Structure 1
């Protein structure tokens, strides 16, 4: 049907804006009627939207895996998104479509009922789901957008893929078994004196990063989005001024996602580098959207380094490098 042209995607550095694709699932009600459920995904994660392809069964597949299909010489799994979400939708595939995603160095297809349109919004208009409910590690909604009187739920596709393909999940990584990471009494003591701020809208991702860094010895504090993080860091700056202390007494480094409600990671980095207190703070961007283009933009805004989300094994070594840099 249509291929998403990456050159047209809004990726201006630090503008705090994004484009989302609104798509629908048609929930079958007990009385036989239908209810349209509105969902969204960042355009930057979408490769294209296609008609439902012919699929082949895959032996011993995970639940909700429809099968696999071939697209441009790549073998791609097709996931029944409604099934994973526990929503009953019409079985007829005639009018359904597939969103093909490309992030975390993986390509996946998601079966949906329809695509409505692309919306350009400011991250300030993207609300945290905690406005509506207490989000936990198992929550699959990372943000909510109000549009035309409707609530569009932005789904945590990283969590969905990790649930369907557990062997590919980052939570399989155990830093204590990584021989490239030094874990002894001396290094544990050094890291225990440092506090790292982890900023990510996904409670699932936040917990994985926190577990990895804590296992290596670091103290961890977390923020659910860029706005939450900036408020926390500005408070640290104020306390440091009052106590005539260094900001590093409160936080030693920042690890931030790119996509987040209220304020995205690029804009957060831009704001921090505008503050004298945070001009030299180590900042690492950890994102499923860390293309070479986005890496260049992140570095230009002032990030020290970047990691693509599957590469969580690089995190402790990278933080060590910047936190203990002489």
Structure 2
């Protein structure tokens, strides 16, 4: 899939493209930036004693890739394979993986402010839905693919024990604002930053809430830099994404001197230019938490 067309050439527009797919009777979405290609199902080799979500492995142009059964991930029982089944070949968190879905239908270009966060009634740390897109006749559910992969392979997620290798540090006087929509990743990020000595972290579920907080601080007479030392942001978030948040911060003279680090599964050599264009001081790919802490040390002290 071509990721360099249209709106995807622009940075900080708060827009994205979503690949819509079906599993059971529901419709779901995945950011097109995560999608390398969509192919017909191939012959799968099962792996004994693998995770229940794992269907097996395939060989695609000489590369061995894991195949994840999205019916099992989403707790949908039964269902036979049919001619519309598709494999979504994805890349994020520095890994390639294949998601087996019932069908791929179309691509939507939308704004992040069209994506509503899930209600607290059905959102929890184990929820796989991080956003709801309302359409005329249906709802499109945006899934947290990072937490799905962390559940299958914990080593692919943020690990607190990695930070312990950096040694003891005293950073409690430093204030950090962090924007991260995933409840699971907010908890992991909080634990790891506390372990690193940064225990004064204000978390927000999306870029809009973080920006509202920062601008409210900027309305006082005291300089914001004296209240907030650094900002960490994910890219994919309902209401306002991390690129748009960074752009807004750098365009505001009251906030522009605060360092911004983008911490996202979408940080690749091909996509780093987006963060550079909006003025981010640094970008770190999940789950490189050690690298994130070292970048914080660099900019905050």
TM range (shorter): over 0.9
- RMSD over aligned Cα, in angstroms? 1.6
User: For residue 209 of structure 2, what is the aligned residue in structure 1?
Assistant: 228
CA drift of 1:278 comes to 1.1
Asked if 1:318 corresponds to 2:295, the answer is: yes
Q: Are the structure 2 counterparts of residues 159 and 9 from structure 1 closer, same or farther at C-alpha, using a change threshold of 3 Å? A: farther
CA distance in 2, matches of 1:114, 1:123: 24
User: For residue 71 of structure 1, what is the aligned residue in structure 2?
Assistant: 60
Deviation per CA, 1:207-254: give whole Å up to 9, x if none: 211111111221111010011111111111123x2xxx2313322110
User: Which of 51, 63, 66 is equivalent to 1:62?
Assistant: 51
Contact kept in structure 1, 2:225 and 2:257, CA below 8 Å: no
Contact kept in structure 2, 1:9 and 1:44, CA below 8 Å: no
User: Which of 14, 17, 33 is equivalent to 1:16?
Assistant: 14
CA drift of 1:129 comes to 1.2
Partner of 2:246, secondary structure, is helix
Compute the TM-score of the two structures, normalised by the length of structure 2.
0.94
CA drift of 1:94 comes to 3.9
User: For residue 33 of structure 1, what is the aligned residue in structure 2?
Assistant: none
> Is 51-60 or 111-120 further displaced after alignment?
51-60
Any gaps of 5 or more consecutive residues in structure 2? none
Q: Are the structure 2 counterparts of residues 102 and 149 from structure 1 closer, same or farther at C-alpha, using a change threshold of 3 Å? A: same
Any gaps of 5 or more consecutive residues in structure 1? 27-35
Counting only pairs closer than 5 Å after superposition, residues 42-121 of structure 1 correspond to structure 2 as 42-121=31-110
Partner of 2:258, secondary structure, is coil
Contact kept in structure 2, 1:25 and 1:89, CA below 8 Å: no
- The structure carrying a bigger helix percent of its residues is 1
Compute the TM-score of the two structures, normalised by the length of structure 1.
0.87
User: Which of 186, 203, 206 is equivalent to 2:183?
Assistant: 203
Paired residue total: 299
User: For residue 25 of structure 1, what is the aligned residue in structure 2?
Assistant: 23
